[in-house]
Amino acid sequence: MKTTIDIANGLFEEAKKIARRDNTTLKALIEEGLRRVVEEKKRKKAFRLKKVTFKGRGLSPEFRDASWEEIRREIYKGRGG
């Protein structure tokens, strides 16, 4: 597949020097770099949030059937909320 990419001038010049030194093409060098990055990204596990619980009995009896607004009002009672 053909595509066009923008590469910083300094990086491009360094890559050309390495390609000449290693008797390879710039295309081969870029493909090698992309393969390495893709493989590294594949190995990294996706972030998963740990399930964190505490041993309790849920809400206090006075709040079991309360709405969020009622619970919030009680939490901020006397605090200007």
> Is 36 inside any structural domain?
yes
Q: Binning pLDDT at 50, 70 and 90, where does residue 81 land? A: low
When divided into structural domains, the chain yields a total of 1
5-37 per-position pLDDT tens digit: 999 999 999 999 999 999 999 999 999 999 999
* Residue 57 Cα distances to 4, 54, 66, 72, angstroms: 60, 9, 16, 19
> Is 61 inside any structural domain?
no
> Is 27 inside any structural domain?
yes
Give mean pLDDT, residues 27-50: 90
- Domain region containing 20: 9-43
CB 29 within 8 A of CB 20: no
20 compared with 60, residue with greater pLDDT: 20
Tell me the pTM: 0.52
